[in-house]
Structure 1
Amino acid sequence: MSSNDLEICKRFAAERAVLDREFKGNVVVGIGSGSTVVYVTKCIAETITRMNKEAEKDGRKPDLNVTCIPSSFQAKELILRNNLNLGSLESFPLVDWTIDGADEIDSQNNIIKGGGGCHTQEKILASCSKELYIVGDYTKYSPKLGTNWKKGIPIEVIPVSYVAVKRKIECRLGGEVLLRMAVMKAGPVITDNSNFIVDWRFPEGIDNWKDIETTLKMIPGVVEVGLFIKMAIKIYIGNEKDVKIYDFSPSNE
């Protein structure tokens, strides 16, 4: 499948996730990061415009007020570019719902995020949201983590600690830990929080991801781990024809 076809799959998933949401009154929306979220913000803006025009056509005063909370610098730029209302967690610590992308998703609702280096803020935003929805194209869905995503688990670390963190992870859990290096500049990638990212290329056979997440987060110097364990309510996977929805809401467990 061509890159253009993959973009269509991303758009299908993003639009379905947005159109399934309720827009009424005052709504606080979390905006994730990544390539699929570009379509999410565009669809949110189009939905607001359409609903306001419908209200005016019916002689009603538009009463929809949507505030968008960004998870990264990229998300903030997308919100502003689409003329959406920009908010913050300081002003809106409780978010109605968030839509975000992913690097890999398995059948048990375990998700790898952080390929773009934003997973700390993404996880904070997700934790403040009543509901988290994940969108992606069909290449993001795997029977188990590590099937398609070969770059490892992103881990944000305090810069002074990265060598110690690397050593502890490799000794305790195996695999290989690599400091993520920048592409267009010399030196490591710097997150929005001014930290480093290391990528843990984990060994095969791991299935206890909740225990793994806890072990990693207990290492001094680790800020956040790019594992989102059973946090999503629904996952929208776009393919060339339609969207597959995986429902993990409590009523379906």
Structure 2
Amino acid sequence: MAGVEKAKDLAARAAVDEFVKDGMAVGIGSGSTIAYGVVRLAERVKEEGLKVVCVPTSFQAKQLITENNLPLSDLENHPQLDVAIDGADEVDDDLNLIKGGGGCQTQEKIVASCAKTLVICADYRKDSKALGEAWLKGIPIEVIPIAYVPIMAKLKAMSAETVTLRMAKAKAGPCVTDNGNLIIDAHFGQIKDPAKLEAQLNGIPGVVCTGLFVGMAVKVFFGQEDGSVTTRTPRNAGLSA
């Protein structure tokens, strides 16, 4: 394993090792980085006899949990979680996030909101001073299907640089979320005030959820090119070993 994949693996393992304890209910995020975290969690369950239950944030996360023989639960049975571990498409200096590159931001945000602690693991490419600096695909916005055209018009009126309806891969037509909705990607350039923009987007009728996660994460683990892992917390805006 080399480069970016190794960095993802290191970050995910560090997050699982530090934050998952015996007896916890754990929210499991979506995406390629979290896959490494689930493997590590399964190793710890086998090696240490940890007793945990896992709540997925998507169909993909559910598959990861079951494929690794971890106990599967949901928010109906575990509405309060001890920790949620997830990835991110971009992280700024204040631990604000852009998520939803994989289209799962709504369920990810719900699960994160039910957790006492949200921990993020990512590779070095996801580290930015300001959101929109490195992630140029735009903020993922899940919308009710009948509203996507007027919402796209409203986003353009808000001075979004690009507004696109996300199209599916390997099928004709738009990408459809696990919730049966559509996704619009809107790029606003560098975002100076994520909280303000999130509130504006949430105020548009038909918007279900945005990929802006503001003030939710308590710690981020970044896997680096040199094989190290650095961290960031809200009280420590700089990277530390």
Alignment of 1:49-88 (within 5 A): 49-52=46-49, 64-88=50-74
Q: Is the 8 A contact 1:176 1:200 kept in 2?
A: yes
Shift of 1:147: 1.8
2:205 matched residue in structure 1: 220
1:249, distance to aligned residue in structure 2 (A):
6.4
Shift of residue 186, structure 1, vs aligned partner: 0.8
1:231 to 195, 216, 234: 216
SS of the residue 1:233 aligns to: strand
What is the distance in 2 between the residues matched to 1:22 and 1:249? 22
Residue of 186, 192, 200 corresponding to 1:207: 192
| Aligned-residue offset at 1:230 | 1.5
2:31 paired residue number: 34
Which protein is bigger by CA-based radius of gyration?
1
Give the drift of 1:175.
2.1
For residues 215-240 of structure 1, the C-alpha deviation after alignment (integer angstroms, 9 at most, x for no partner) is: 00010000000000121010000013
Contact 2:30 2:60 in 1 (8 A): yes
Report the number of matched residues. 235
Structure 1 gap ranges (5+): 53-63
Aligned to 2:102: 116
Aligned residue number for residue 151 of structure 1: 137
Aligned-partner Cα distance in 2 for 1:120–1:13: 23
Amino acid aligned to 2:3: D
CA drift at 1:22: 4.3
Aligned to 1:60: none
**Which stretches of structure 1, 4 residues or longer, exceed 6 Å deviation after superposition?**
none
TM-score by length of 2: 0.94
Return the alpha-carbon distance in structure 1 between the equivalents of residues 134 and 107 of structure 2.
24
Provide the C-alpha distance between the structure 2 equivalents of 1:249 and 1:148, rounded to a whole number of angstroms: 23
**Cα distance in 2, alignment partners of residues 98 and 187 from structure 1:** 32
Q: Distance in 1 between matches of 2:82 and 2:145?
A: 34
What is the distance in 2 between the residues matched to 1:6 and 1:90?
Answer: 36
Deviation (angstroms), 1:248 = 2.3
State TM-score, norm by structure 1: 0.90
Question: Structure 1: how far apart are the matches of 2:20 and 2:91?
Answer: 25
What per-residue deviation string (whole Å, max 9, x for no partner) do you get for residues 75-104 of structure 1?
Answer: 000000000000000110000001000001
- Please provide the CA RMSD for this pair: 1.4
The whole-number CA distance in structure 1 between the counterparts of 2:230 and 2:147 is 41
Correspondence for 1:135 among 121, 127, 130: 121
Q: What SS does the corresponding residue of 2:109 show, helix, strand or coil?
A: helix
- Indicate which of 2, 21, 25 corresponds to 1:4: 2
